[in-house]
Structure 1
């Protein structure tokens, strides 16, 4: 008989829970005496059905027994019509963010090798890491009630908006999911003054966002208001969660800073269930921590207020595609990559920023140049394409001028959905300092590392050997200070954010999946060794980063941990490689033995 209050799960999940509960029964160490093992559905402490029903009533009937996204594609719950709808949406980010039991990368939906990722009707559908219940929060009070419930009953709590998270921080086995996706407030205030500011404080233009707003909607609203708001390049990413709390970059960060540099105020529900205002005038330590210390760590941000900026009146958008010489691709690739990296310092100084997709046989790039005309942009960008043609590659380029950011965004990024979700993906990344690009000898070493990394990637999980480069630092990003925000200090010295990608198929055996991840970490070491003292952008990083505290938070970690202990002394908010997560075991279900 199933424990009271537990949704119907596959038998294997129950057996796993029993095994885990035995493991969690071990005594706690003195070092973690303030932390307790989470209550599991097989234990007497788990809330019974009446208790769950009371929570549901308390949040207006918006408590959802949560199932994996492909649940209705498997026996004994197979439903042909529902399964067809699931298949149609499964790999689209817009669809996945509207499912309480889904995140964007499905490898995070697996727990201890079990999940529900395919459409094979006869395969057992395991709950995996999908939360058992979800509260569809639509207001501050829903969030407060859910946080208090989880704390009172010692139930693991996870916080999710759209499920964009390469570290798996918005999902967790045997958990209660606080889903903020429908908190969609977007409100402009041209004379915003932070709460608690002294009389006479200068007002600023601002946008006030609910925690469920996504950048697609905010960019449109900002354009209607004739202002610019710094946000994410992906239109489906949430505005107020991990994106900004981890730093938050965009190609136009070089003009207005990282997202953390644009925060004026947060409203946050902390682990005690209280609603707090954090800004430069009250709860100042918490405000500092929320601007770089990572999402899902210090509480649930329910409202964020960001600066608005004058709208851009002209942005040149350069697209290019380079096909290496087919008869001698390796030599051509090496020359083109080296020259491309050599141009980054000059382009940055001239105001350029953007992204490139460097592959074994080709390179594609999209770059921005605000407040300049096409003639100026062509003069600065065309020499690179001419060089590529001169060494035997075929280079194609196009430069277009847009009269506003939203016009550019609408033409290049705004879609009804992107079919790149619902797959198993892990990343590796590194911030490359500006000093690397200022000396040709260092550029040569970086170019050589790129070549070797592509060979590595070709051998496991990325046959095209794709390296993603982001020229998104420098400029205004370099002007921020640790006194103002807690974002990784290496951002202020960086010029480029480099990302490596590895993936595998659903049917790939677990041992091979682990091998791919180990090799990705080893391949990323090529960049770590070239950039001692730098780090990695926490939102797009290796989940197996060897020195994650140093790589993600740098010298700020000690202060961040102190603030974490003050606002969340019992560790209600615990997530993978987040501040304080080293107090917990790998599954984040029990304190780590010291």
Structure 2
């Protein structure tokens, strides 16, 4: 089976369609960059900046944007998605760009409206490298300019365009490489992968794979781009066998809105990889390459310029075979009812569920809506007739009202506990949090916030205010934060806040922020009352140390309705030089007080085999038992065959054990990377394993007291 490797594109965040838009800089603001600043920016990105020029401008008598394309070509090509994909600004669903500049004959065309930018971006960066993306998004973020990402513009929910924005156009990121011996991160094996840049279409990627006798999970429509399809899950004809496209990703590269270029796989930035595997497009960073399993994905239409707003649902056993036939027929008939009584509707039923998604190994599962794992059918209803005599905004609002009053209401009656496929769903679904993300919503918000997106912190704060955290627990431990050689937090009244189920985040009382000024930058209102703010910590210069600033602080105001969050401050863990519990340093994230580590001495014999060869034998060892993980066997270095050890440069940190160093195992010229680790200077609670070595039991054979142990299945497998 083939795995495809590719790098995903930069995203924005989990945004409610029911919430007002965030205030970003616009060309009407005094601080909008002047022409000279745009020119300097263009020089910094090798001249790849494009001032938006709508293609259909040539169809207006005055051609206000001096568009070079002949109007006859624009008219003839307008309904083809490939035409829009090859233009920097254009999208397949121009309704979401406010029908700003249409050619005659296009649906929604009105000669009296002329041609203007409307919902199109102000500028576009034609990117060809990760470094260009990093420079562009950092520049825009620093100036509070809205960022959007366009690959092919095939998104029928309007996510690949935005008014008064800087668009990152990835169409010309076309790297593709077939590698039959790609080393799988964190595993003792190689696999066949396709390394594919996010500017590729499915047609490009599938064609390249087929040249080598392989296929990938992709869409039937060859014009659809990789990025949004995969990040939303990505179903297709082979999904019932191989799972969804997101289930087949080994590794991605992501550019964050702060301009950092990250690689995410099972050995690094695992939360980011988890989020990109189905957590929605445009949320966590700009993805530029992907890697996924052999299969093919179901398609859409390559037609553009039409109005379409589907309503969809994932249906499992309870919603299909466990209801009586009369009720099933009744539901289908009601789904076929059109908003225009003189027209009929259409229901499309796809067999994209079944054993493929259900049998996806847990190590390959990401933030894909959990309902996919028990889905039989993916069902879409196209029963909405748009009124083109009103404005685009009114058209969308009316369409949303009609869908929510009819189809969404029916789905909630028929299948209340499943959900919808985010890439083919009603973008105005009022229950989007539950239906698109399910139980993963809060954790995804935290991942987005961790990626440095200011909007991610706003969304996280709003969610916590409206719905509360998973749980909270006050601690009497002394918590300190040291940054820029300055103690900026010192408290014994901290609160552990579970924003998601994995581990807690430390919140500290605002009064215990020391030697730094907390400056509220952006107020957050819920139910017409200011409840929190996105703030900045300013650490003054002292001695020979320069002033330092920490952004994206969440400051909850004093408010009894906030419970344990009242008057508390959330400081992103990774933005601080060092955190301490009492006098012990904390690494990676706050320690979970409900997680336990026991280290027990044992004289049971332990033998380790790699690829059939015994590489370690010990009659005395330390057994480390950590909540949620298999028992780890720590052996004296003297018990290991020194001839197979090769030092690795890799380092990792654990909140409970400290900083680990690694060895590779080399047998018969085959290298098994980072198979062995040890802690030279572990935390105090794990001092008993100092300088002892441990093997991944998921990747080697462990023989304990003469009995071969079953290899555990964890995220490290």
Same fold at TM > 0.5: yes
Structure 1 residues 68-217: aligned runs within 5 Å: 68-77=54-63, 82-110=70-98, 115-119=100-104, 122-194=112-184, 197-198=185-186, 201-217=188-204
Q: Which residue of 465, 472, 496 corresponds with 2:352?
A: 472
> Structure 2 length as normaliser, TM-score?
0.57
C-alpha change, 1:245 and 1:591, in structure 2 (3 Å) is: farther
Q: 3-state DSSP class of the match of 1:227?
A: coil
Deviations 1:327-366 (A, max 9, x none): xxxxxxxxxxxxxxxxxxxxxxxxxx989xxxxxxxxxxx
Residue in 1 that maps onto 2:448: 564
Residue in 2 that maps onto 1:232: 219
Q: 3-state DSSP class of the match of 2:288?
A: strand
Deviation of 1:509 after TM superposition, in Å, equals 4.7
Check the 8 A contact 2:367/2:440 in 1, yes or no: yes
Deviation of 1:271 after TM superposition, in Å, equals 1.6
Corresponding residue pairs, total:
440
- The structure with the larger Rg is 2
Check the 8 A contact 1:264/1:306 in 2, yes or no: yes
C-alpha change, 1:509 and 1:284, in structure 2 (3 Å) is: closer
Q: Which residue of 521, 537, 543 corresponds with 2:404?
A: 521
State whether structure 2 residue 339 is matched by structure 1 residue 447: no
Q: Which residue of 367, 384, 389 corresponds with 1:486?
A: 367
C-alpha change, 1:512 and 1:141, in structure 2 (3 Å) is: closer
Deviations 1:381-434 (A, max 9, x none): xxxxxxxxxxxxxxxxxxxxxxxxxxxxxxxx9xxxx66211222111111113
Question: Unmatched 5+ residue regions in structure 2?
Answer: 1-18, 105-109, 465-521, 527-717
C-alpha change, 1:137 and 1:530, in structure 2 (3 Å) is: same
Check the 8 A contact 1:434/1:474 in 2, yes or no: no
Residue in 2 that maps onto 1:316: none
Q: 3-state DSSP class of the match of 1:455?
A: coil
Deviations 1:520-566 (A, max 9, x none): 22222212211121101111110110111111000001111111111
Residue in 2 that maps onto 1:426: 309
**Distance in 2 (alpha carbons) for counterparts of 1:201 and 1:553:** 33
Structure 1 residues 21-420: aligned runs within 5 Å: 37-77=23-63, 82-110=70-98, 115-119=100-104, 122-194=112-184, 197-198=185-186, 201-239=188-226, 241-308=227-294, 420=303
Deviation of 1:308 after TM superposition, in Å, equals 3.7
Higher relative contact order (CA 8 A, sep 6+): 1
C-alpha change, 1:507 and 1:90, in structure 2 (3 Å) is: farther
Check the 8 A contact 1:74/1:122 in 2, yes or no: no
Deviation of 1:591 after TM superposition, in Å, equals 7.3
C-alpha change, 1:522 and 1:296, in structure 2 (3 Å) is: same
Residue in 1 that maps onto 2:430: 546
Deviation of 1:95 after TM superposition, in Å, equals 0.5
**Distance in 2 (alpha carbons) for counterparts of 1:354 and 1:292:** 16
Residue in 1 that maps onto 2:525: 593
**Distance in 1 (alpha carbons) for counterparts of 2:348 and 2:523:** 37
Residue in 2 that maps onto 1:318: none
C-alpha change, 1:551 and 1:209, in structure 2 (3 Å) is: same
Q: 3-state DSSP class of the match of 2:455?
A: coil
C-alpha change, 1:186 and 1:434, in structure 2 (3 Å) is: farther
Check the 8 A contact 2:119/2:164 in 1, yes or no: yes
Deviation of 1:515 after TM superposition, in Å, equals 2.5
Deviation of 1:480 after TM superposition, in Å, equals 3.4
**Distance in 2 (alpha carbons) for counterparts of 1:571 and 1:512:** 27
Q: 3-state DSSP class of the match of 2:380?
A: strand
Check the 8 A contact 1:482/1:489 in 2, yes or no: no
**Distance in 2 (alpha carbons) for counterparts of 1:160 and 1:236:** 14
Check the 8 A contact 2:123/2:166 in 1, yes or no: yes
RMSD: 3.0
Q: 3-state DSSP class of the match of 1:267?
A: strand
Which structure shows the higher strand fraction? Answer: 2
**Distance in 1 (alpha carbons) for counterparts of 2:218 and 2:44:** 34
Deviations 1:474-524 (A, max 9, x none): 111122377731100011111111112234364445545533331122222
> Structure 1 length as normaliser, TM-score?
0.69
Which structure shows the higher helix fraction? Answer: 1
Deviation of 1:253 after TM superposition, in Å, equals 0.4
